[in-house]
Structure 1
Amino acid sequence: MTEASGGWRAEVGAHVVFEAVTWQIVALVGQAVRLVAEDGTTASVLAAHLCADPGFRVVRDDARPEVPQWGLFEGIDAAARERALAWQRHIREIEYGLPAGPGSPGAPRPQFDPERYSLAERERAKAEELAALGWAKASVPTVRRMRARYRDGGLWGLVDGRKRRPTRATGRADERVVAAVLEAVRRQRGRSRGTRKGLRTLTGQILDDAHGAGRVKVPPSRRSTGW
């Protein structure tokens, strides 16, 4: 966690509103907070700057699981990402009346207003809407199944199972370690005396800052990989 102004602690997985956009916190590096919006846009800001935004607030959505495996999500093809993000917006509209989720600005469309219609009625309205838009196999059971998948697996749970095996140069490496290595490389860029040992040490520090001391460890050195 990162201590921010006003006593609020930034936590990975939390949803916040910053510059009128709802973001999810995906990493903490020192005092920097890394954010991702539902459309895939990313940002990195200082915690103090985040909280200083006049429209800043924490979005309460305790029913959702922790932050998705964003590195994996980015590794799938664009069509699968867009489909999952579209499902996320539709599911949020069913459950909260607003595609951006609870606490977001705007008013619900009449057929998805929780104050006027039951959850079952909103599911049926969404299935009818998706069918009219040409979505294949759009039905109430499909909508309910996707809601369950989102509740269990977050955004990653909405990805078509056939698309969940992206080809990545990092193979089966822990996404958190990969992100930390990339950040360490970025920080060392331009330094003429950077060493492999120094890179490993810096990677470990970044992991400790982002996830807590010792919670995510740097893999043991392997000569065959050069790491």
Structure 2
Amino acid sequence: MALRFFSIAIVVMALASSFANASDPNPLQDFCVAIDDPHHVLFVNGRFCKNPDDVNADDFLFRGLNKPGNTSNPLGSKVTAVNVNNFPGLNTLGISIARIDFAPYGLNPPHTHPRATEVLVVLEGTLYVGFVLSNPPPGMKNKLFAKILHPGDVYIFPQGLIHFQLNVGKSNAVAFASLSSQNPGVITIANAVFGSDPPISLDVLTKAFQVDDKVIKYLQSRFWYDNN
């Protein structure tokens, strides 16, 4: 009996290790171009697969990342994401990309990607970027890792950690981000906390932020712009 449980424990730990080291599942075929029509197709990794006989070169082409995003908004930034939702050829391949445009002093606000690590490359401008660690030791604060980036610099934001980018220059800035998921997801912290529908209870937020309920009501009354 003891040997049996030991064997099961070994299998569980091996599976846990496998899951911990994986992002998106590895593909089991050359490609699986996503398609909405489920007729005569397979359901793979959240998306139906287009019949391989109908796949063509255009399924692996996306155009438009040479065009600047519109930064005329309260944040002064625009994320142009290219993922499986608008580029079906990415399905099951475990990658995506985004262009991020910044007006002078524009901000890509604190957010997380629950399913992806991000690699950021600066093309133009000067960005102040950073991410915050999770699970600080007792009595310690969450550690911030931050740097000033210039054209050609590369920075990494580990999967799931809160991070941000701020244009600290007087001119426009452009960066490209590669992400280790076909559909990395994005949770913008302020939008999620103060702009949820229905709203999070005042009892929860006043205690969480240690502020008066009038402050929470004011924040919940604001329009939380989405730059994605």
Do they superpose with TM above 0.5?
no
Normalized per residue, the structure richer in helix is 1
Normalized per residue, the structure richer in strand is 2
TM-score range, shorter chain: under 0.3
Greater relative contact order, per chain length (Cα 8 Å cut-off, separation 6+) = 2
Query: Which structure has the larger Rg over C-alpha atoms?
Result: 2
